[in-house]
Chains A and B, each alone.
Chain A
Amino acid sequence: MIRAEVLSKSKEFDSLGINMTKEIKRYITHIKDVRTSAVYIFEKEIDKNFIKEILQDEITDEIYFNKESAIKDVFYIDIFAKSGVMDPVAETLLSYLKKSSQDSGSIRTCRRFYIYTDKKISGEELVAFLKNRYYNPLIEEHGTLQLGRNVFSDKFEVKTVSMDFDLNELSKKMTLSLSLKEMERIKDYFYNIKKRKPTDIELETIAQTWSEHCVHKTMKSPYMYKGRKIKNLFKETIVKATEVINHPDAVSVFSDNAGIFKFDEFTNVCFKVETHNHPSALEPYGGAGTGTGGVIRDIIGTGLSAKPIANTDVFCVGEAGSKVEGVIDPEEILKGIVSGVRDYGNRMGIPTVNGAVHFHKDYLGNPLVFCGSIGVMPGRNSFKRVCDNDMIVVIGGKTGRDGIHGATFSSVSLTGDSQELSSGAVQIGNPIEEKKMLDAILEADGLFTAITDCGAGGLSSAVGEMGEHTGAEVFLERVPLKYDGLTYDEIWISESQERMVLSINERNYEALKSIVEKHNTNIAHIGFFRGKNLRIHFKGALVLDIEMSFLHKGVPLTLKKVKPYNNAPEKRVPFKLNIEEAGLKVLSHPDVKSKEWIIRQYDHEVQSQTLIKPLGGETQAGANDSAVISPINGTEKCLVVGCGINPRYGELNPKKMTYSVIDEAVRNILSQGGDLEHTFMLDNFSWGDTSKETTLGGLVESCEACRDYAVKLGIPFISGKDSLNNYFIMKGREIEIPPTLLISAISVTEKNRIKSSYFKPGASFIYILGAETKAELLGSVLFDSYKINKGIMPSIDSSESVKHHKLLSNLNKNDIVASCHDISDGGIFTTLFEMSLGSRVGCAVQVRTKLTSAEFLFSETQSRYVIQVYPERRKEFENICGKNALLIGETNISNSINYKINKSKYTFEIKKLEKVYR
């Protein structure tokens, strides 16, 4: 055995230690200093010089073999991954050492923190600080790192499960998350049709295939709403809109891992957004990382594979400063989520280009993480088809015991104990493993007939789905394993990351194998698509045999009787406040405040295709509404990507929220130069407790609003996802998340139409284009800042709004608009500030209005844009827009934003506002 510790030669080279010291001093004042090192254990003796070369930086580090480091008699704590949890460092070392013919045996790694202090420090106090900042008890432990010695026996027995007992109890005991009705259906199938008891793996496979996560049974159920019967909510709302619109460029909708639409003559684009809520509540870093990794695999697994070109991310977390036992603090959740997305996306070399963050007290125990990914593919690769007798091939990472029961776990509620109890449900990703797999798959274009990813439910889900029409026969002992001792059901439902399943004709196997092996990753032929049934063998025993039709069509759906959501009452109530103070409050509201600290951590320019970045202008702080990416191969076309989300509205009125977030997504697209006629949408519902009739009523109202507004706009939905039962039990009380709908929008436009969201320099005019500003402030950022809860919410007159959006879409085709920013959270006050900040261009605004100054400045009336027009285009602009555009002022070279609203005057220095905003 070799034990190696790598420690920087001096403190100045230890930036982690320096930054930790700054942070920890705020909590434990008597700590003077922290130094960090990395410890590695190699099971077997190997060449120390070789180890030295790959672990030590000669300029900055010392390496110590089998002895104490230079830091002596200082209290330290070691933190390392629990045995069996993915450790990307060890995995990478192992793979390189193996390649270099160095047999190291197993490897474990650990992070060591040396704590310098005046007083004695207790381990407990230190662990309390490190917990959820530098250490997550779910996947890591502290203590003395040792080589794990796992002794497994090769014996196994096929377990059958009796269903003669309380079926609810059985469902709970096996974490199946199935209802009594579903359990009875299964019992009937086995006892009466198959005339035998099910095996454990059979029950688990059905539970996973029938899980909310995989089959979306709530959305697809029949509903009774206000005496009206809806046969299949999903089909009659979301899908209906897409059918009615019948967009000529929609290529594949709601059927594959992502929605596909046409980009140009040769190329299609696909887009998918996933939710990854529950794992992120317990292990934000791993949860968000694997969420990102998972949605990227969805893109790789769309059609005959697409190349991911951009990622998006949207987070909803609790309000800063809230502390509850058993729940990770919102600040730490957010930091963890951001790091997870960063480390996965950046390492994969996919730019993270668009997103949003919202804060609401009811996300405290159940934060939301939406991860999106966009891919490009040759048009010919848009469809997959598994052929009879194709080989079933799994490529990518090896299978371990990670994340058993993720699909079923994602459908249950969270409690304060969840973090301790659900360790199996969370995984750590290894982005480099996924990158190698991606490179191999892109190179293997044309060799396979179908591809899909191993996500929730693992092989069970992937093979089950692909073999729906052909049947599948799998030999589980052929799956490459991380370590010995896995039983058949663990292999089958393991959610080890970074694996894909391909179907391939036998004659192409060798060619695929040599490509995969060149990229240093794994490949195994594990069975055939044949025989109509799903049949699983393990070491000679048949452990599962189910008809595909029962698996895929057997889930019973129940009629859901629902009641209308309790919408907030609305009434215009006068309010008084100080405008200067209100301006500062709104800009420092967490939903409005600059997200620069997050955006900077994402590589948003890798692949060299990002034209409009999240932030721009001379200050690199001007927020753009959406991002623009243009594929590198010289095309004039490009993609605009944006989103809309608003939990403040959702809580008050899901229907109005739905209109608003669709409107916001559309505004974001059009502000940057998008084209309304070539725009597509994705819906992601994150909803509360589906056993509550009003909660489900809100879902019905939201789905119907989606259909109605989408049809008016002519923008089809191409893909979506729902995550239900997002609630948290705290001290016996249930806290539901606010009804949350994320709309992601993507538009195909041309490069010469794109523009940014901050003012260009030079004298110019400023207009409001769109709806007339009304006193619509209930649910606004202003009212949230002042805790005012009486007022009127923004309403959308969809015919009027469509007219305004079309107007801008047409203006975009000419070079009339210099810059454009939509009016949303924080009203026009926020919009003008953000536009001024980008390149520090001042402005003066004069309006006469029936509204009060506060109402005019902070109203969140929808379907409005602020537009900058140069004098030479003024006439043309006014002719086209007529009464739909209102001239409100001019830009200037001052350092301030000046308002004259009726007779009141206000002046805001840009620098002063920037201080609270950035």
Chain B
Amino acid sequence: MNKFKSLVIKADGSNCEIETDYILRKVGFSSEIVHLNSLMSEPERILEYSFILFPGGFSYGDYTGSGRIVASIIKHHLMDSLKTFISQGKLILGICNGFQTMVKSGILPNVSGTFKQEVSLIFNDSHQYEDRWVKLQVLGNSIFTKNFDSTIELPVAHGEGKFIYEIDQRLVENIAVLKYIDERNRPTMKYPLNPNGSMLSIAGIADKSGRLMGLMPHPERFIRKEQYYSNSKNEDEPHGIRFFENAYIYIKEEL
């Protein structure tokens, strides 16, 4: 079996699946985009893959809260297969709307192990959608950010990205992987460096295994150096690619 198979799960209103699929192929995966509607009837199909991606977009328009309806579909149709998938040591990454979906379906951070929603992503403090580049500090044990420099830059583009939690703060610090930072690389609550008012400046989290991760910024939007927002620095390797490369390396070495 080809273990480098990745699956981009698309729902009504997803809109970042093509570029996500593109970069997966670029780093070596044999990637497929499959519609959630097709998976509902045969959920065990997801077990053919080693890496699942929940892409960005506005699934079901986010009309009843971002990611909520897809989370409901996952709970009713995909959860058993997903639990098996996770127990097999495989990888899941959720980007933006995909992160919202993972959080709301209880896949992340799953500190309790019960797959209940423990944290949330709610409307930005500005109550407005915003597209801008942010500086991020890299922390924690996610396999996706292994061997990263201590800071990276990526674009964010969302209306509901404010991270909030109900669980113990120490537990939250343990799951934090990316934090919004200021000019002096300190985690910040200052707008617009922290674009949404996220608690503890959190932009991305992983579960305790480090194999499941979600983030609000879009790594798939910084895969060519010309995509950098300024002309003053010549970035050698675009920061977004390494999330996907790390997934490939992990699967190659550990699975």
Residues of A participating in the B interface, judged by any CB pair closer than 8 Å: 13, 15-16, 18-19, 50, 53-55, 57-60, 88-89, 92-93, 96, 100, 342, 346-349, 430-432, 435-436, 518-520, 599-611, 613, 615-618, 620, 630, 632-633, 751, 754-756, 758, 760-761, 819, 838-839
Residues of B within 8 A of A13 (CB): 122, 164
Residues of A within 8 A of B141 (CB): none
Contact A57 B231 (CB under 8 A): no
Instruction: Tell me if B125 counts as interface (CB < 8 A to partner A).
Output: yes
The one of B18, B122, B223 in contact with A57, judged by C-beta atoms closer than 8 angstroms, is: B122
> What are some 23 contacts across the A-B interface (CB < 8 A)?
A15-B162, A53-B72, A54-B69, A57-B104, A57-B117, A59-B165, A60-B120, A346-B129, A349-B15, A518-B37, A520-B37, A601-B128, A603-B129, A604-B131, A605-B221, A606-B15, A608-B223, A613-B229, A616-B230, A751-B226, A760-B232, A838-B230, A839-B230
Q: A96-B69, A346-B129, A601-B130 are in contact. Are A608 and B221 (CB under 8 A)?
A: yes
Q: A16-B127, A92-B63 are in contact. Are A760 and B166 (CB under 8 A)?
A: no
Considering the complex, which residues of chain B in the window 212-236 have a beta carbon less than 8 Å from any beta carbon of chain A?
A: 218, 220-221, 223-224, 226-227, 229-232
What is the CA–CA distance of A607 and B162 in the complex, to the nearest angstrom? 23
The one of B63, B117, B231 in contact with A58, judged by C-beta atoms closer than 8 angstroms, is: B117
The one of A89, A435, A599, A618 in contact with B230, judged by C-beta atoms closer than 8 angstroms, is: A618
Instruction: Tell me if B155 counts as interface (CB < 8 A to partner A).
Output: yes
Considering the complex, which residues of chain B in the window 19-33 have a beta carbon less than 8 Å from any beta carbon of chain A?
A: 19, 22-23
> What is the 8 Å Cβ interface bit string for chain B, positions 1-24, against chain A (1 contact, 0 not)?
000000000001111101100110
Residues of A within 8 A of B218 (CB): 605, 608
Contact B124 A15 (CB under 8 A): yes
Q: A96-B69, A346-B58, A754-B226 are in contact. Are A607 and B18 (CB under 8 A)?
A: yes
What is the CA–CA distance of A620 and B224 in the complex, to the nearest angstrom? 18
Residues of A within 8 A of B133 (CB): 620
What is the CA–CA distance of A838 and B122 in the complex, to the nearest angstrom? 32
Given contacts A54-B69, A59-B117, A432-B58, 7 further A-B contacts (CB under 8 A): A55-B68, A348-B15, A520-B37, A606-B56, A608-B19, A616-B231, A620-B229
Tell me the nearest residue of chain A to B223, going by C-beta.
A608
What is the CA–CA distance of A615 and B116 in the complex, to the nearest angstrom? 41
Considering the complex, which residues of chain B in the window 79-126 have a beta carbon less than 8 Å from any beta carbon of chain A?
A: 104, 116-120, 122-126
Nearest CB in chain A: distance from B50 CB, A: 23
The one of B19, B23, B63 in contact with A93, judged by C-beta atoms closer than 8 angstroms, is: B63
Contact B231 A92 (CB under 8 A): no
Contact-residue bracket for chain B: 35 or more
Contact A611 B231 (CB under 8 A): no
Residues of A within 8 A of B130 (CB): 600-601
Contact B69 A92 (CB under 8 A): yes
Tell me the nearest residue of chain A to B38, going by C-beta.
A518
Contact A57 B68 (CB under 8 A): yes
Residues of B within 8 A of A758 (CB): 231
Contact B231 A19 (CB under 8 A): no
Contact A53 B231 (CB under 8 A): no
Contact B61 A100 (CB under 8 A): no
Contact A607 B19 (CB under 8 A): yes
Contact B164 A616 (CB under 8 A): no
Number of CB contacts from chain A to chain B under 8 A? 175
Q: A632-B22, A755-B231, A819-B231 are in contact. Are A93 and B61 (CB under 8 A)?
A: no
Residues of B within 8 A of A100 (CB): 76
What is the CA–CA distance of A605 and B222 in the complex, to the nearest angstrom? 10
Q: A54-B64, A60-B164, A349-B15 are in contact. Are A617 and B129 (CB under 8 A)?
A: no
What is the CA–CA distance of A758 and B38 in the complex, to the nearest angstrom? 48
What is the CA–CA distance of A610 and B104 in the complex, to the nearest angstrom? 30
> What is the 8 Å Cβ interface bit string for chain B, positions 48-77, against chain A (1 contact, 0 not)?
000000001110110111001100100110
Nearest CB in chain B: distance from A420 CB, A: 29
What is the CA–CA distance of A754 and B68 in the complex, to the nearest angstrom? 41
What is the CA–CA distance of A375 and B69 in the complex, to the nearest angstrom? 30
Instruction: Tell me if B143 counts as interface (CB < 8 A to partner A).
Output: no
B interface SS class:
mixed
Contact B232 A608 (CB under 8 A): no
Residues of B participating in the A interface, judged by any CB pair closer than 8 Å: 12-16, 18-19, 22-23, 35, 37-38, 56-58, 60-61, 63-65, 68-69, 72, 75-76, 104, 116-120, 122-133, 155, 157, 162, 164-166, 218, 220-221, 223-224, 226-227, 229-232
The one of A15, A57, A604, A608 in contact with B125, judged by C-beta atoms closer than 8 angstroms, is: A15
The one of A431, A435, A608 in contact with B220, judged by C-beta atoms closer than 8 angstroms, is: A608
What is the CA–CA distance of A346 and B159 in the complex, to the nearest angstrom? 10
Residues of B within 8 A of A607 (CB): 15-16, 18-19
Contact A632 B19 (CB under 8 A): yes
Interface centre among A620, A630, A760 (most CB of B within 10 A): A620
Q: A96-B60, A349-B57 are in contact. Are A59 and B13 (CB under 8 A)?
A: no
Nearest CB in chain A: distance from B58 CB, A: 5
Residues of A within 8 A of B38 (CB): 518
Q: A603-B131, A606-B157, A608-B19 are in contact. Are A59 and B119 (CB under 8 A)?
A: yes
Residues of A within 8 A of B76 (CB): 100
Report, nearest first, the 7 A-B pairs whose CB atoms are least far apart.
Answer: A349-B15, A608-B19, A59-B120, A432-B61, A15-B123, A15-B127, A89-B63
Tell me the nearest residue of chain B to A752, going by C-beta.
B226
Contact B155 A605 (CB under 8 A): yes
Nearest CB in chain B: distance from A838 CB, A: 8
Q: A16-B123, A346-B129, A349-B16 are in contact. Are A617 and B166 (CB under 8 A)?
A: no
Tell me the nearest residue of chain B to A628, going by C-beta.
B226
Residues of A within 8 A of B226 (CB): 611, 630, 751, 754
Nearest CB in chain A: distance from B231 CB, A: 5
Interface centre among B75, B127, B223 (most CB of A within 10 A): B127
Contact A88 B63 (CB under 8 A): yes
What is the CA–CA distance of A690 and B56 in the complex, to the nearest angstrom? 47
Nearest CB in chain A: distance from B138 CB, A: 21
The one of B75, B165, B227 in contact with A53, judged by C-beta atoms closer than 8 angstroms, is: B75
What is the CA–CA distance of A600 and B130 in the complex, to the nearest angstrom? 5
Nearest CB in chain B: distance from A752 CB, A: 9
What is the CA–CA distance of A518 and B69 in the complex, to the nearest angstrom? 17
What is the CA–CA distance of A89 and B1 in the complex, to the nearest angstrom? 43
Nearest CB in chain A: distance from B239 CB, A: 13
Contact A610 B13 (CB under 8 A): no
What is the CA–CA distance of A342 and B128 in the complex, to the nearest angstrom? 10
What is the CA–CA distance of A18 and B124 in the complex, to the nearest angstrom? 11
What is the CA–CA distance of A599 and B157 in the complex, to the nearest angstrom? 12
What is the CA–CA distance of A633 and B65 in the complex, to the nearest angstrom? 33
Nearest CB in chain B: distance from A296 CB, A: 13
What is the CA–CA distance of A602 and B69 in the complex, to the nearest angstrom? 24
Nearest CB in chain B: distance from A803 CB, A: 28
Contact A59 B230 (CB under 8 A): no
Interface centre among B12, B38, B72, B223 (most CB of A within 10 A): B12
Q: A16-B127, A349-B16 are in contact. Are A603 and B157 (CB under 8 A)?
A: yes
What is the CA–CA distance of A779 and B231 in the complex, to the nearest angstrom? 34
Contact B19 A760 (CB under 8 A): no
Residues of B within 8 A of A618 (CB): 230, 232
Q: A59-B166, A606-B157, A607-B18 are in contact. Are A432 and B12 (CB under 8 A)?
A: yes
Q: A96-B69, A347-B61 are in contact. Are A518 and B230 (CB under 8 A)?
A: no
What is the CA–CA distance of A754 and B231 in the complex, to the nearest angstrom? 11
What is the CA–CA distance of A88 and B58 in the complex, to the nearest angstrom? 13
Residues of B within 8 A of A609 (CB): 19
Tell me the nearest residue of chain A to B240, going by C-beta.
A608
Nearest CB in chain A: distance from B76 CB, A: 7
Tell me the nearest residue of chain B to A633, going by C-beta.
B22
Contact A606 B16 (CB under 8 A): yes
Interface centre among B64, B218, B220 (most CB of A within 10 A): B64
Q: A88-B63, A610-B227 are in contact. Are A519 and B12 (CB under 8 A)?
A: yes
What is the CA–CA distance of A15 and B123 in the complex, to the nearest angstrom? 6
What is the CA–CA distance of A88 and B61 in the complex, to the nearest angstrom? 8
Contact A19 B126 (CB under 8 A): yes
Tell me the nearest residue of chain A to B68, going by C-beta.
A54
Tell me the nearest residue of chain B to A612, going by C-beta.
B226
